[in-house]
Amino acid sequence: MPRPPRFFISPEQVSGPHIIVTNEDVRHIATVLRMKIGDHLLLCDGQGTEYTVKISDIKKSAVKTNILSQTTRENRYPIVTLGQGLPKSDKMDWIVQKTTELGAASIVALITERTIVKVRDEEKRLVRWRSICREAAMQSNRADIPRVEGIQTFGDYVRRLNSGPGTLLLLPWEEATEPIKGVLRGRPSVKNIVVLIGPEGGFSAAEIALAHEKGFHAVSLGPNILRTETAAVAVLSIIGYEYS
């Protein structure tokens, strides 16, 4: 039996034994997929719970469903936060999409000393990135949607970072000599990882010093210098491999 189509909802859409699907998903269910009363869907609340439901009514603005069963996926560890130096053009869109597919739990764009982009329409950017996260999470069969935080300066973000004993802080840097593999394999039970990726041009000496002061491990991703968007994907891939 083919797997039912899958959509994200908010927890507030669950009402007793029913879930009401609204917004752009209604058109996709009714018009694009041409689904009918009695058909099944998979609905995820973005926080790890997935519902198997049966369509009971279809209207222009809403699709009503009855819950048949529900499952909750356990958190996969480590939980990864990506602090990404804001790159130019539309590279951030691509980074958000690919790191969502690779399992990032939280993404924050950072304004650094070498950031070229002039940030305008921040709210519009955040809406776009959150939409990309949602679509990428749906496509990659995730049960959750990464949190996209507001744009912050590198200094503010690093100084406010409150990391506990179960958190590993990583700073991929072209001048680092310690391979990331050794650092990860030395922390097999880590619960949280925060990764900082520089923009084009990398981090400044002052930013590297501040990160070191806060406990970040400078790690090497290999002998080649990677583009900012490549580095983000490489780190998430390496983490996923080492902890799978």
In a domain, 120, yes or no: yes
Element (H, E) at 219: strand 217-219
Same domain, 39 and 115: no
Which CATH number characterizes residue 95's domain? 3.40.1280.10
In a domain, 95, yes or no: yes
* pLDDT at 44 (0 to 100): 93
Which CATH number characterizes residue 40's domain? 2.40.240.20
Same domain, 59 and 114: no
Same domain, 84 and 37: no
Mark which of 72, 107, 130 sits at the end of a domain: 72
Same domain, 181 and 60: no
Same domain, 90 and 68: no
* pLDDT at 1 (0 to 100): 66
In a domain, 1, yes or no: no
* pLDDT at 167 (0 to 100): 95
In a domain, 151, yes or no: yes
Structural contact between residues 190 and 78, judged by C-beta atoms closer than 8 angstroms: yes
* pLDDT at 97 (0 to 100): 98
pLDDT values of the chain reduced to their tens digit, one per residue, 244 residues: 678 999 999 999 998 999 999 988 999 999 999 999 999 999 999 888 999 999 999 998 999 999 999 999 887 889 999 999 999 989 999 999 999 999 999 999 999 999 988 888 899 999 999 999 999 999 998 989 999 999 999 999 999 998 888 999 999 999 999 999 999 999 999 999 999 999 999 999 999 999 999 999 999 999 999 999 999 999 999 999 999 8
In a domain, 206, yes or no: yes
Same domain, 201 and 217: yes
Structural domain tally of the chain? 2
Same domain, 94 and 60: no
Same domain, 68 and 83: no
Same domain, 122 and 11: no
Structural contact between residues 192 and 82, judged by C-beta atoms closer than 8 angstroms: no
Mark which of 46, 72, 98 sits at the end of a domain: 72
Same domain, 200 and 121: yes
* pLDDT at 188 (0 to 100): 92
In a domain, 53, yes or no: yes
For CA atoms 159, 161, 167, 172, the dihedral sign is: negative
Structural contact between residues 96 and 104, judged by C-beta atoms closer than 8 angstroms: no
Mark which of 72, 96, 126 sits at the end of a domain: 72
Same domain, 32 and 152: no
Q: How far apart are CA 217 and CA 2, in angstroms?
A: 46
Give residue 30's domain range.
Answer: 6-72
Q: How far apart are CA 75 and CA 16, in angstroms?
A: 25
pTM of the model: 0.89
In a domain, 160, yes or no: yes
Same domain, 96 and 180: yes
